[in-house]
Every structure is written in C-alpha cells, then in structure tokens.
C-alpha cells in the first residue's frame, strides 16, 4: 500500500487524516451567498407558467465551485416550481412577466439551471429546496441569473421571495 502523505505550507511531508473507514478527510469551506431578493417582480400581477419571474440579477460567488443547495423562501405561500437559469456572462434578460426566452448567443454562456420544486408548507409561507450539485467556473466571480416560474404566481406586496445558495 502506498504512503498517503501531503505537503504542508512549508513543503514538509505530513500524514493525511482519514476517517474510521480509511477515507481521506478534505477541508473545504462552504460559501453562503446570503439572502437575495428576486428583483423586478411585479406585485399583484398574474404570471403564467414559463414567464420570467423578475429581471436579471447577479450573484457574487467564488470563481469556481459546486452549488450544493438553493433554498427558496416563499413568503407569499404559493409553493410553485421555479427554475433558476444561470449564466457565466451577462445576457439579454426577458422582461418580467413575459415568456422566458434567450438568444442562441446568450445560450452559449448558460452554465445550467436549477429547479426548485420540493416545497414544505409552514402555514403562512413555504420553503423550497434544491440540491443540484451544479459545478461552475466564472473567473469574474459573478453568476448572472433570471428566474422562470412554472406556475401562475400572483405575488402580494411585501411578499417578494428571497433565496440563498450554499457553494462548496
């Protein structure tokens, strides 16, 4: 069996920690985006499934990582699926409450999408969670995003949803 050793910051070999099954421990810090309000949502406006839900916004993130979770805070208590379309560069956003559509040129910078469809109802509100494990690289440290609703939202004044991401 080979000797599993790593180099410390001074270049000296050090033993690598393992768990009780022999798996190597790794040390990584999770990054939390903080709560982000989805900007540009028209309150008291009827949305249709497939509409842009608010405008484009940016999310400051580490330059490289894996989105481990997205938590959607639904203050309006609707529990309707949302897709977070993520891009590595700015794109021409779809107008709020219009059918979401991006150009082919913008699609080339799409790093993927995250679907939040698993909700828990807490009586006055709901929380949606997605566990996407979506890897990305954005050298400028910014994700560009627009949310798409997959339901018929009608957001009350003062109930604009927020979300946060955890990245490892």
Q: Where are the domains of the chain?
A: 31-167
Assign 3-class secondary structure to 90-117: CCCCCCCCCECCCCHHHHCCEEEEEEEC
pLDDT of residue 131: 98
d(CA 28, CA 43): 40
pTM for the full predicted model: 0.83
pLDDT of residue 51: 98
pLDDT of residue 22: 66
Query: DSSP label at 61?
Result: -
d(CA 39, CA 60): 15
Q: What does the pLDDT profile of the chain (168 residues) look like in tens digits?
A: 556 676 666 777 777 666 666 666 566 689 999 999 999 999 999 999 999 999 999 999 999 999 999 999 999 999 999 999 999 999 999 999 999 999 999 999 999 999 999 999 999 999 999 999 999 999 999 999 999 999 999 999 999 999 999 999
- The fold of 31-167 is Jelly Rolls (2.60.120)
- Residue found under tokens 């959607």: 72
């Amino acid at each position: 069996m080979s000797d599993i050793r790593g180099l410390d910051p001074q270049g000296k070999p050090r033993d690598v920690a393992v768990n009780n099954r022999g798996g190597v421990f790794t040390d990584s810090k999770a990054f939390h985006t903080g709560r982000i309000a989805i900007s540009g949502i028209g309150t008291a406006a009827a949305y249709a499934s497939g509409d842009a839900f608010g405008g484009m916004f940016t999310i400051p993130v580490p330059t490289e990582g894996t989105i481990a979770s997205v938590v959607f805070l639904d203050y309006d208590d609707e529990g309707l699926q949302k897709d977070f379309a993520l891009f590595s560069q700015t794109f021409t956003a779809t107008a709020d409450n219009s059918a979401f559509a991006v150009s082919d040129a913008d699609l080339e910078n799409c790093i993927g999408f995250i679907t939040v469809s698993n909700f828990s109802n807490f009586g006055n509100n709901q929380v949606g969670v997605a566990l996407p494990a979506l890897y990305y690289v954005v050298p400028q440290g910014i994700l560009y995003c627009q949310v798409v609703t997959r339901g018929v939202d009608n957001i009350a004044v003062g109930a604009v949803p927020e979300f946060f991401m955890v990245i490892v």
